[in-house]
């Protein structure tokens, strides 16, 4: 009679993600096709395993002042309280208020990718986010102050040797507060998570994809719920 093993289940999840990313790198020659396929691996992981209150998609983010972010490979956004999403010919546009986390997904991490990701992250965090008072049976709760938008990098491999050494930490430490990277996964090598003191906890090997997924869920839990969006602020663009 077979028995269940939680350790084997969690290990198997990582191994499946690593295998898919390795297959993409080995078999697809065109850089654009390879990039799209890598993004799909991560999007499928998050869409399958994140709680249903969240949705993961590739998108631009827009605010009520009409400012758009750069295109983001993976946007984790609210699907319970902010159903305000534009979808035209496969191009998705998500209101800034509904965003919980953003990720850049590529085959390999290096200094150029970190800088590129930081610029894209800043383009989202710079957006204006509305927040309305929340009605309830006994009155109203105060408007929630929009919280921190999580950010990160997702790759299969690293151009550095060692893969998660000092050059990575130096690249992550660069940039402004708005460009801050919170967590990342290099599936073939390990994970990095930003701590409260601003340093990064780096774990080599292990089961990186699974470790990243569980850490992301824990951090999403700490963010609670996104602010109540002022839909009328967007409606003002109809005039």
* In-domain check, residue 88: yes
Query: What's the rounded mean pLDDT across residues 102-126?
Result: 97
Q: Which of the residue ranges 12-26, 79-93, 211-225 would you say has the lowest mean pLDDT?
A: 79-93
Lookup: tokens for 69: 């972010």
pLDDT tens-digit series, residues 56-81: 999 999 999 999 999 999 999 998 77
pLDDT of amino acid 1: 52
pLDDT tens-digit series, residues 135-164: 888 888 898 899 999 999 999 999 999 999
pLDDT of amino acid 79: 81
* In-domain check, residue 7: no
Q: Please check whether residue 106 is in contact with residue 156, taking contact to mean a CB–CB distance below 8 angstroms.
A: no
pLDDT tens-digit series, residues 170-219: 999 998 999 999 999 999 999 999 999 999 999 998 899 999 999 999 99
pLDDT of amino acid 216: 97
Torsion angle (degrees, nearest 10) of CA 48, 12, 155, 216 = 50
* In-domain check, residue 5: no
Confidence of residue 39 (pLDDT cuts 50, 70, 90): very high
Edge-to-edge strand ranges of the sheet holding 86-88 = 86-88, 91-95, 54-62, 72-78, 99-105, 150-155, 183-186, 190-194, 200-204
With a CB cutoff of 8 Å and minimum separation 6, the contacts of 125 are: 149, 151, 178
> Is 28 or 11 the better-scoring residue by pLDDT?
11
* In-domain check, residue 66: yes
pLDDT of amino acid 91: 87
* In-domain check, residue 11: no
Confidence of residue 2 (pLDDT cuts 50, 70, 90): low
User: Residue 38, Cα to own-chain centre: how many angstroms?
Assistant: 14
Q: Please check whether residue 131 is in contact with residue 83, taking contact to mean a CB–CB distance below 8 angstroms.
A: no
Residue 84 confidence (pLDDT) above 80: no
Whether residue 159 lies in the annotated active site: no
Residue of 63, 78, 104, 157 marked catalytic: 104
* In-domain check, residue 12: no
Whether residue 104 lies in the annotated active site: yes
* In-domain check, residue 123: yes
pLDDT of amino acid 82: 74
Helix (H, G, I), strand (E, B) or coil at 237: helix
With a CB cutoff of 8 Å and minimum separation 6, the contacts of 83 are: none
pTM, two decimals, is 0.92
Residue of 39, 58, 63, 73 marked catalytic: 73
Mean pLDDT of the chain: 92
Interior angle at CA 191, CA 33 and CA 159, nearest 5: 55
Expressed as residue numbers, the domain containing 55 is 23-130+142-232
pLDDT of amino acid 34: 78
- Tally of structural domains, the chain: 1
* In-domain check, residue 33: yes
**How far apart (Å, rounded) are the C-alpha atoms in residues 29 and 14?**
24
Residue of 58, 78, 92, 106 marked catalytic: 106
């Amino acid at each position: 009679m077979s028995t269940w093993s939680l350790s084997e289940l969690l290990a198997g999840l990582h191994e499946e993600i690593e295998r898919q990313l390795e297959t993409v790198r080995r078999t697809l020659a065109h850089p654009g096709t390879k990039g799209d396929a890598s993004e799909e691996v991560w999007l499928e992981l998050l869409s399958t395993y994140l709680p249903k209150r969240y949705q993961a998609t590739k998108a631009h983010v827009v605010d009520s002042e009409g400012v758009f972010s750069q295109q983001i490979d993976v946007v984790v956004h609210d699907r319970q309280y902010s159903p305000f999403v534009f979808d035209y010919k496969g191009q998705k546009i998500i209101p800034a208020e509904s965003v919980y986390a953003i990720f850049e997904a590529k085959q390999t991490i290096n200094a150029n990718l970190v800088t590129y990701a930081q610029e894209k992250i800043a383009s989202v965090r710079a957006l204006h986010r509305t927040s309305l008072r929340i009605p309830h049976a006994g009155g109203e709760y105060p408007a929630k102050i929009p919280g921190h938008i999580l950010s990160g990098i997702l790759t299969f491999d690293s151009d550095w040797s060692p893969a998660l050494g000092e050059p990575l930490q130096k690249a992550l430490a660069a940039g402004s507060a708005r460009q801050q990277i919170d967590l990342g996964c290099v599936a073939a090598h390990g994970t990095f998570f930003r701590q409260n003191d601003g340093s990064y906890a780096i774990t080599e090997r292990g089961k990186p994809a699974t470790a990243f997924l569980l850490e992301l869920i824990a951090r999403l839990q700490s963010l609670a719920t996104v602010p109540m969006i002022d839909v009328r602020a967007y409606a003002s663009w109809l005039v």
